[in-house]
Amino acid sequence: MFLENKENGGITLEMTFRWYGDSDPVTLDKIRQIPGVAGIVSAIYDVPVGEVWTMERILTLKHQVEAQGLKCEVIESVPVHEDIKLGLASREEYIANYCTTIRNLGKAGFTTICYNFMPVFDWTRSKLDYKLADGSTALLYSRETVENMNPLTGELSLPGWDASYTKEDMKVLLEQYQNVNEEKLWENLQYFLERVIPVAEQAGVKMAIHPDDPPWSIFGLPRIIKNKSDLERLIQLVDSPNNGITLCSGSLGVNPENQVAALIRYFGKLGRIHFGHCRNIKITGKNCFEESSHRSDDGSLDMVDIMQAYHEIGFTGPIRPDHGRMIWGETGKPGYGLYDRALGAVYLNGIWETLEKTKGAMKNEVTV
Ligand SMILES: [Mn+2]
């Protein structure tokens, strides 16, 4: 992970792009035309959560991507079954299946698995097509809107969560979580990692937890991967280099107390950042934000400082632009259009190239 590119003494940025498989309107032959994008981050989307990903399906994905000249070594995500998060007896079977999937992915040459441990709701926003001043649309999170929603009314239509839950399923699930506070969720995460990380070590796969998005509790459900002390606790639950982090700047960065670049420097030096999600967000109030373009001036995060932190730690792991706005009339999966994410990739690559080429110059400045 910390190997330098010997040819020019520099560090090559492993820029990747998320792809949602055959149903994704952003096709592989479009992605391969984005300058500097070397790899794809994907998953097998039609296997029910908790079931094994077979070698056959995994290799089909890998070969399909590689046929386009793109690398395919990162999975985002292998989802964790709710019974594991709840700590139910049935978790044994689901953890065993998860371990088999890790082994299969390792055998197929995958190096990194992104996952998260958020109860019930994955990433949550209150609006998917919020109109920005320039006419583009972006994802929005309004604390007021989310606080006024009741997941039990069945009217909940927040993006980013599984619409396959019926009103009754949701009621049962939320009731089950009544017995799971933050400490209990930590215990359940530890139980999971104690079984999964040794398998990941053997398989040569790095586990990379994605922080909670947003990094605070919603609907009274516990959320435990929100800040530096949570991440510190996470890496100590099972002290292995294979137990690491997907450092998502946009998820962590909506809480101004999370100094994203400092987190990259800290956990990067420990060798625990296995995957980087790079995007900007604009904080518009307490627990309120809108997603912006990747450019520093458009949001609240200093993307140069963030890329500089990756550069300083000698990061050679996969990194990707994260959500983009919808621009130029594009339609498709909110946050995952082609154009704005492609601009993000090129912008991040541009920052990196500058850091590489001014490295010597900056060293000179410091030593003068
Ligand atoms: Mn992310």
Mean pLDDT across 143-170: 72
Please name which of 161, 21, 47 lies closest in space to residue 101, comparing C-alpha atoms.
47
Q: How far is the CA of 234 from the centre of ligand 1 (A)?
A: 17
In the annotation, is 122 catalytic?
no
Cβ neighbours of 359 (radius 10 Å): 14
Q: How far is the CA of 66 from the centre of ligand 1 (A)?
A: 24
In the annotation, is 210 catalytic?
yes
List, for residues 280-334, the tens digit of each pLDDT value: 999 999 999 999 999 999 999 999 999 999 999 999 999 999 999 999 999 999 9
Q: How far is the CA of 210 from the centre of ligand 1 (A)?
A: 7
Please name which of 299, 279, 274 lies closest in space to residue 289, comparing C-alpha atoms.
299
Identified catalytic residue from 210, 274, 294, 311: 210
Structure-block tokens of residue 361: 């110059």
HEC assignment per residue over 252-292: HHCCCCCCHHHHHHHHHHCCCEEEEEECCEEEEECCEEEEC
| Bridging pattern class, strands 318-321 and 206-209 | unpaired
The pTM score is 0.92
List, for residues 95-119, the tens digit of each pLDDT value: 999 999 999 999 999 999 999 999 9
In the annotation, is 305 catalytic?
no
| Bridging pattern class, strands 71-76 and 112-115 | parallel
- 301-327 b/e (C-beta count within 10 Å ≥ 16 → b): bbbebbbbbbbebebbbbbbbbbbbbb
Q: How far apart, in Å, are the Cα atoms of 329 and each of 326, 337, 340?
A: 7, 10, 11
Identified catalytic residue from 322, 339, 340, 347: 322
Q: How far is the CA of 36 from the centre of ligand 1 (A)?
A: 20
Mean pLDDT across the chain, nearest whole number?
Answer: 92
Q: How far is the CA of 321 from the centre of ligand 1 (A)?
A: 9
Radius of gyration of the chain (CA): 20
Q: How far is the CA of 360 from the centre of ligand 1 (A)?
A: 32
Whether the CB-CB separation of 122 and 137 falls below 8 Å is answered with no
Using CB atoms within 10 Å of the CB of residue 89, give its burial: 0 to 12 exposed, 13 to 18 middle, 19+ buried: exposed
pLDDT of residue 168: 81
Please name which of 219, 226, 270 lies closest in space to residue 248, comparing C-alpha atoms.
226
Residue 333 CB contacts under 8 Å (≥ 6 apart), including other chains: 20, 24, 25, 26
Structure-block tokens of residue 190: 């530890």
How large is the angle between the packed helices 182-203 and 228-237, nearest 10 degrees? 50
List, for residues 157-176, the tens digit of each pLDDT value: 665 555 667 778 888 888 99
Residue 81 is given by DSSP the state P
Q: What percentage of residues in the chain have a pLDDT greater than 90?
A: 80
Residue 79 is given by DSSP the state P
Task: Give 145's pLDDT tier (boundaries 50, 70, 90).
Answer: confident
In the annotation, is 63 catalytic?
no
Whether the CB-CB separation of 161 and 122 falls below 8 Å is answered with yes
Polymer length in residues for the chain: 368
Q: How far is the CA of 367 from the centre of ligand 1 (A)?
A: 37
Q: How far is the CA of 258 from the centre of ligand 1 (A)?
A: 15
Cα angle, residue 247 at apex, residues 246 and 248 outer, rounded to 5°:
105
pLDDT of residue 368: 43
Place of tokens 């090559």: 12
Superfamily of domain 14-120+180-280+303-367: Divalent-metal-dependent TIM barrel enzymes (3.20.20.150)
Identified catalytic residue from 81, 274, 294, 323: 323
Structure-block tokens of residue 76: 């985002």
Cα–Cα dist 104/304, whole Å: 37
Q: How far is the CA of 248 from the centre of ligand 1 (A)?
A: 5
